[in-house]
Amino acid sequence: MRKGLLINLDRCSGCDSCIVACKLENDLPLGHFYNKVIAVGPTGTFPNVEKYWLPSQCQQCENPACVHVCPTAASYRDPKTGMVLIDKEKCIGCQYCIYACPYGVRQFNEDAGVVQKCTLCAQITADGDGVPACVHNCNCGARFFGDYDDPESDVSRELAKYPEEAIHTLPDPNNAKPLTRYILSPKFASWKELV
């Protein structure tokens, strides 16, 4: 099982509802985030300009560097769901996982003394029924959650609607295998590698 997010950038309006929903659901203090929406662009020369929004959060890598460097196995990949999670009881706050994450989507919570990141709302999704708050509250219906290995899941069905050239992942520095897929059709904007 490989549970993760699919984000359709053709639909994303950059409204930041996912950020707000995430902060409310996970009770994140001021300045702390599990996800952010980044504007990519505008690029090009008028009138041929383009821009898209890139919601960013833990990419649920299948070969996560954060897990490999963790000295206490606090960062782990759940073998049942494929979700990359943090056992806060085991985290010693060394922050090596922050240095090792290629996407910079982990933060250190100084009050709690632990590293935190997107959990795909495990408190909601662990029983296999619910969806993360960002997916539930996406105004544009741009976010999908499910098992990439299940052809009947939301992510697989949405993915099946698009050709290969519209399906993207963030650049991968060394075989981290980010699971999160982004859909961006060339008619809306060209995908930027950002590195």
Partner 1 sequence: MAIQWPLVLFSLLAGAGGAMLAFAGLSQLLGGSRTVRRRAVWCALALFVIGGLCSVAHLASPLNAISAVTNLLSFSGISIELMLLGASFIAGAAYLVLTREEGRDGAVRVVAVLAVIFGVAIGFFCGHGYVIDAQPTWGTETLPLAYLGTSLALGAFAYALVAAATKTPADKAASAEELGGKLWPAVLVCAVVDAVGILAYGLFLGLDAVAAQGVLFWGGAVACGVVGVLACAIAGMTALAAKAPAALAVAGVACAAIGGVALRMLMWACATGYLNLFSHGIPSVMLNL
- How far is C-alpha 146 from the chain's CA centre? 13
Q: Contacting partner 1 (CB under 8 A), which of 13, 63, 72, 123?
A: 72
Alpha-helical (H) ranges within the chain are 17-26, 65-69, 96-100, 122-125, 133-136, 154-159
Residue 103 binds partner 1, judged by CB under 8 A: yes
Q: Contacting partner 1 (CB under 8 A), which of 7, 22, 70, 142?
A: 70
CA dist 147 and 195 (Å) reads 28
Q: Contacting partner 1 (CB under 8 A), which of 12, 135, 170, 189?
A: 170
User: Residues, the chain, total?
Assistant: 195
Minimum distance, C-beta of residue 89 to partner 1, in the bound complex (Å): 9
Q: Report helix, strand or coil for 51.
A: strand
Residue 5 binds partner 1, judged by CB under 8 A: no
CA terminus-to-terminus distance, the chain: 30
Minimum distance, C-beta of residue 54 to partner 1, in the bound complex (Å): 8
**Residues in contact with partner 1 by the rule CB under 8 A:** 14, 16, 19, 33, 36-43, 54, 56, 65, 68-73, 90-96, 99-105, 107, 110, 113-114, 170-171, 173-174, 176, 192, 194-195
